[in-house]
Structure 1
Amino acid sequence: MLSGKYEYVVVGAGIEGSATAYQLAKKGAKVLLLEQFPLPHNRGSSHGASRMIRRAYEEDYFCEMMNEAYSDWQELEKETGTKIYMKTGLVMISENLNVTESVAKILNSLNMKSELLTANQVNGKYPGVFLSDNETAVIDTDAGILKADKALRCLQEMFVRNGGEIRDQEPVRRIIPESDTSVMIETSHGTYRSNSAILCLGPWAPKFLKSLGLNLPLESVKTTVCFWRMKPEFSRMGAVWPCTVNISAEEHSYSLPPDEYEDLMKICWHGGVASDPDDRDRVSPAESHIDGLIKYVRRRFPCVEPKPSIMETCMYTCTPDESFILDRHPKHKNIIIGAGFSGTGFKLAPVVGRILADLALGKKPSYPLEPFSIARFTKSRL
């Protein structure tokens, strides 16, 4: 049986846990990063070759945090000699003019590059994307693609380079708070003690946190990731296609230009079907889910064939307001929780890692955490 004493134990080696562990190790702390599956794996929320990076959000705090995230990703590129970020631009679409105007206003207030366009202007500028007359768009010029699997690998590499220790294939069985300065972590392989435990559990958070007395409104969902073949006349253009985000009550979607597979665009609904992460293979998307996406793609993207060529799966963990949980346990201040990233967290991982590390270190985080607090949920759930 393994055992040991660490200053900090981070549970979950997805993008958020790896970023947190790296931030702690950079400060010279003795850190253990635990992962239940063999690395790399595709059971959580951090696998795959691409994720979107953007500043265009309706929430000004996300937009502001993204400034730091861009700098952090660029710094990680320099540290590892790995290309992680590819600039493509973003077309953020809504039939609600107030949404696009609000996002443009937020971007402009933070001196970030943006542009507000009508449907005709978008259709002329981006022939592969079609907007209806009642829609407008914000152009986020610095948006693009993060090479997700490379980003995760780079964070783990830098964590180890800074003295951190990773143990995969070691599921955590129990977290036992012993005092304000001691937490016991029981795993399939042994027992560890640390000053603080940081839990980045991904879709396992809703179940596991109940064992710590937290009944939070978190939902794990299985989402279908679809790739669509570009029509020859568009793929031959040789242009860098933009990412897109569509914000409406019925159609919340996103797309990424060809990157993971040659000539295949990633176009997906945001969200998915409630699913136990330990039993996810039994849950299939409803036919109406895919049929609705096919109808949407036919209308929105004249540049692709009308049926997906490849369908993969991924997991989200969602909160009702789609803001994260970045907080200390209400009763055990040396248990730190990062959860509910709602399909948004990957791009912000370096900032999230710094915030969670600051909480573990007892430092005041650099951003107000009210939007990410446990207290924003009803007390009856605790």
Structure 2
Amino acid sequence: MEYSGEEFDVIVVGAGIMGSSTAYHLAKRGQKTLLLEQFDFLHHLGSSHGESRTIRATYPEDYYHPIVTESAQLWEKAQREIGYRVYFKSQHLDMGPSDNKSLQSMIASCLKNSVPHRVLDSRQVSDEFSGRVVIPENWVGVVSELGGVIKPTKAVSMFQTLALRNGAVLRDRMEVKTILRENNVKKGNGGVRVVTTNGEKFWSKKCVITAGAWVGKLVKTVIGLELPTQPLETSVCYWRIKDGNGTNGNGTNGNANGVDYGVGGDFPTFASYGDLYVYGTPSLEYPGLIKIAMHGGYPCDPDKRPWGPGMPLDALKEWIEKRFVGRVDSNGPVATQLCMYTMTPDEDFVIDFLGGEFGKDVVVAGGFSGHGFKMGPAVGRILTDLVLSGEAGVELKYFKISRFKENPKGNLKEFEDQVCIDPK
């Protein structure tokens, strides 16, 4: 097929949360933007689908604080523009052994960044949440106000719709084969040519790669660089709230005794540190069910997914029985969904210029390691600024590709890894 002649200011490759948010920000700034997706829009093959993600401001790493807080504001701004909600606010509860290094680092980061929080002992946690969650005496709980549930598929659709409203062009079933440096003869300047597997060719001044679990494969094809990103297949589990302890499905009390695990009450999103890293959300997407899952998964090739068998659940069942004191059925999940993480060795993002012959004309973002979705709006803003001006507005040294040349494990940390890889 001959060169199509379609020209853009910026082409974004990959229409998950990061790419869709980037297309939105670019289009709002008047950039002629093309968003390409290799599968159908809103597909369930990657990392940006499903019914819920958590948002929290409590991180052991200081450098996530400005990105999370900016994202919280941008989530609200975008949903005001679209006219419906994708972000449902709640408190957030972190818990774990009082001597856990990750938890200690998180509390220190909260103090350093003036994140409002309260550190509670086991009795105070039980009182705070009316006995709905209980922790051992040697644990502490950390309650913070910036928490909540984000609806991922709905949120990606929101940004795609807003990008369209602002003039962006969206095309799915467009798998990118390669990206080439090219001079535009008509305009006499440089640019990039994006070639798809079905023979389509597009020219742009700049390009942003947000290809999720496929980012490593595409970057290697384009420039020969081995990004240390490993896709993981992870499972998300929903557990039945026992009769008399649930909600009526709309975030209000659905039982006589006042126990409520639903969004809209005072039950938080939560994360548990320790040998088992567990996270979850209040009941929202499925009335009578609560999302509780382990942070981890099995290494895989995104083009050859195993589609199971899911994480071993014995330790999680025990955690549920003890933390929720028999109010959630711990015999087994009633629904399970599969998703993908794209891990880096240090669990930090990759946000950088591709470099080489492309210089600063191509920006790559990936390796969001199972905790990036909440920061999608701010990452989109950052990528937009990088590709348009070369500046990000926040410190990105911890996300540079070069960190893996200095140390194959990336950023050095004084606390434990949080994601369990290849669990036994």
Instruction: Give the TM-score of the pair, scaled to structure 2.
Output: 0.85
Determine the structure 1 residue equivalent to 2:314: 291
Superposed counterparts of 1:22-37, under 5 Å:
22-37=24-39
Summarize the Cα distance change of 1:380–1:95 in structure 2 as closer, same or farther, 3 Å threshold.
Answer: closer
Measure how far apart 1:99 and its partner are: 4.2
Greater shift, 63-72 or 99-108, is seen at 99-108
Q: Is the 8 A contact 2:17 2:373 kept in 1?
A: yes
How far does the alpha carbon of each residue in 1:65-124 deviate from its partner, in whole angstroms, 9 at most, with x for none?
A: 222111111111211111122122111012144544543343344343211011221123
Answer with 1 or 2: which has the greater Rg: 2
What is the alpha-carbon distance in structure 2 between the residues aligned to residue 101 and residue 172 of structure 1? 43
Measure how far apart 1:258 and its partner are: 0.7
Q: Is the 8 A contact 2:62 2:113 kept in 1?
A: no
Determine the structure 1 residue equivalent to 2:116: 113
What is the alpha-carbon distance in structure 2 between the residues aligned to residue 155 and residue 210 of structure 1? 28
Determine the structure 1 residue equivalent to 2:194: 185
What is the alpha-carbon distance in structure 2 between the residues aligned to residue 219 and residue 46 of structure 1? 17
Measure how far apart 1:137 and its partner are: 1.5
Q: Confirm whether residue 304 of structure 1 aligns to residue 306 of structure 2.
A: no
Determine the structure 1 residue equivalent to 2:268: 242
What is the alpha-carbon distance in structure 2 between the residues aligned to residue 326 and residue 375 of structure 1? 11
Q: Confirm whether residue 61 of structure 1 aligns to residue 63 of structure 2.
A: yes
Q: Is the 8 A contact 2:121 2:141 kept in 1?
A: yes
What is the alpha-carbon distance in structure 1 between the residues aligned to residue 159 and residue 123 of structure 2? 42
Three-state SS of the structure 1 residue aligned to 2:313 is helix
Q: Is the 8 A contact 2:28 2:163 kept in 1?
A: yes
How far does the alpha carbon of each residue in 1:252-294 deviate from its partner, in whole angstroms, 9 at most, with x for none?
A: 11011111111111111112111111111455235xx223322
Q: Is the 8 A contact 1:318 1:342 kept in 2?
A: yes
What is the alpha-carbon distance in structure 1 between the residues aligned to residue 324 and residue 214 of structure 2? 35
Superposed counterparts of 1:69-88, under 5 Å:
69-88=71-90
- Counterpart of 2:121, as a letter, is T
What is the alpha-carbon distance in structure 2 between the residues aligned to residue 189 and residue 113 of structure 1? 53
Measure how far apart 1:128 and its partner are: 2.2
Superposed counterparts of 1:218-237, under 5 Å:
218-235=229-246, 236=255, 237=259
Greater shift, 188-197 or 105-114, is seen at 105-114
Determine the structure 2 residue equivalent to 1:196: 206
Summarize the Cα distance change of 1:261–1:111 in structure 2 as closer, same or farther, 3 Å threshold.
Answer: same
- Counterpart of 1:300, as a letter, is R
Three-state SS of the structure 2 residue aligned to 1:233 is coil
Q: Confirm whether residue 138 of structure 1 aligns to residue 149 of structure 2.
A: no
Three-state SS of the structure 2 residue aligned to 1:327 is strand
What is the alpha-carbon distance in structure 2 between the residues aligned to residue 99 and residue 230 of structure 1? 30
- Counterpart of 1:159, as a letter, is A
What is the alpha-carbon distance in structure 2 between the residues aligned to residue 82 and residue 342 of structure 1? 28
Summarize the Cα distance change of 1:164–1:309 in structure 2 as closer, same or farther, 3 Å threshold.
Answer: same
Q: Confirm whether residue 336 of structure 1 aligns to residue 384 of structure 2.
A: no
Q: Is the 8 A contact 1:3 1:190 kept in 2?
A: no
What is the alpha-carbon distance in structure 1 between the residues aligned to residue 134 and residue 284 of structure 2? 21
Q: Is the 8 A contact 2:66 2:394 kept in 1?
A: no
Task: Name the structure with the higher helix share.
Answer: 1
Q: Is the 8 A contact 1:326 1:337 kept in 2?
A: yes
Greater shift, 337-346 or 290-299, is seen at 290-299
Q: Is the 8 A contact 2:103 2:273 kept in 1?
A: no
Greater shift, 292-301 or 361-370, is seen at 292-301
What is the alpha-carbon distance in structure 2 between the residues aligned to residue 316 and residue 295 of structure 1? 25
Q: Is the 8 A contact 1:275 1:283 kept in 2?
A: no
The match for 1:254 among 256, 270, 279 is 279
Summarize the Cα distance change of 1:282–1:102 in structure 2 as closer, same or farther, 3 Å threshold.
Answer: closer
What is the alpha-carbon distance in structure 2 between the residues aligned to residue 240 and residue 181 of structure 1? 55
Determine the structure 2 residue equivalent to 1:270: 295
Three-state SS of the structure 2 residue aligned to 1:260 is coil
How far does the alpha carbon of each residue in 1:7-44 deviate from its partner, in whole angstroms, 9 at most, with x for none?
A: 11000000000111111111111110000111221111
Q: Is the 8 A contact 2:238 2:333 kept in 1?
A: yes
Q: Is the 8 A contact 1:184 1:192 kept in 2?
A: yes
Q: Is the 8 A contact 2:342 2:370 kept in 1?
A: yes
How far does the alpha carbon of each residue in 1:154-194 deviate from its partner, in whole angstroms, 9 at most, with x for none?
A: 11111111110000111111112236931111112411111
Determine the structure 1 residue equivalent to 2:249: none
Three-state SS of the structure 2 residue aligned to 1:65 is helix
What is the alpha-carbon distance in structure 2 between the residues aligned to residue 380 and residue 373 of structure 1? 12
Q: How many residues align?
A: 378
- Counterpart of 1:227, as a letter, is Y
Three-state SS of the structure 1 residue aligned to 2:285 is strand
What 5-or-longer segments of structure 2 have no aligned partner? 184-188, 247-254, 409-424
What 5-or-longer segments of structure 1 have no aligned partner? none
Summarize the Cα distance change of 1:49–1:3 in structure 2 as closer, same or farther, 3 Å threshold.
Answer: farther
Q: Which runs of 4+ in 1 moved over 6 A?
A: none
Q: Is the 8 A contact 2:307 2:338 kept in 1?
A: no
Greater shift, 355-364 or 93-102, is seen at 93-102
- Counterpart of 1:148, as a letter, is P
The match for 1:359 among 380, 383, 386 is 386
Calculate percent identity across the aligned residue pairs: 35
